[in-house]
């Protein structure tokens, strides 16, 4: 699998390590009333789709950046690669 890094260009997937579903960027507030349930869902009930999946990858053997990759889990086709910081900013804008 080749990952087209937004800063470094195409890199082999073996340089990266995988964390999981990009919903891990949405850490719940600890002081909300139902935070126990929110943290349970946050940590254990992640997306496990057959198809398009947004997921967190870390460029460990490279520039040590966190990426959000949109990938098809059936074909391994990669549609979009973004820096996680940019992704989070856009996500917050969208939520506002």
Partner 1 sequence: MYYNVFKILKEGLNDNKGWKKTWQNPEIKKKYDVIIIGGGGHGLATAFYLAKEFKIKNIAVLEKNWIGGGNVGRNTTIIRSNYLLNENEAFYEFSLKLWETLENQINYNAMVSQRGVLNVFHSDAQRDSFVRRGNSMIINGADAELFDVDKIKSMYPFLDYDNARFPIKGGLFQKRGGSVRHDAVAWGYAHAADELGVDIIQNCEVTGFIIKSGTCIGVETNKGNILADKIGCAVAGSSSVLMSKANMNLPLESHVLQAFVSESLKPLIPGVITFGAGHFYISQSDKGGLVFGGDIDGYNSYAQRGGMDMLEDVCEGGLALMPTIGKARLLRMWGGIMDMSMDGSPIIDKTHIKGLYLNAGWCYGGFKATPASGWCFAHLLAKGDSHSLSENFQLDRFKNGYMIDEKGQGAQPNLH
Strands (E), the chain: 2-5, 9-12, 17-21, 52-58, 66-72, 78-83
What is the Cα–Cα distance from 91 to 27, expressed in whole angstroms? Answer: 13
**Does 20 sit near partner 1 (CB under 8 A)?**
yes
Q: Which of 10, 14, 33, 94 binds partner 1 (CB under 8 A)?
A: 14
**Does 75 sit near partner 1 (CB under 8 A)?**
yes
User: What x/- string results for residues 30 through 69 when contact with partner 1 is judged by CB under 8 A?
Assistant: -------x--xx-xxxx-xxx--x-x-x------------
- Give the number of other Cβ atoms within 10 Å of residue 57's Cβ: 23
CB closer to partner 1, 76 vs 93: 76
């Amino acid at each position: 699998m080749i990952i087209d890094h937004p800063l470094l260009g195409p890199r082999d997937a073996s340089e990266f390590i995988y964390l999981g579903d990009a919903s891990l960027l949405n850490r719940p507030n600890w002081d909300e009333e139902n935070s126990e349930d929110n943290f349970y869902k946050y940590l254990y009930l992640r997306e496990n789709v057959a198809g398009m999946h947004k997921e967190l990858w870390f460029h460990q053997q490279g520039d040590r950046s966190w990426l959000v990759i949109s990938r098809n889990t059936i074909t391994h086709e990669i549609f979009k690669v973004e820096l996680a910081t940019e992704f989070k900013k856009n996500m917050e804008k969208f939520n506002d």
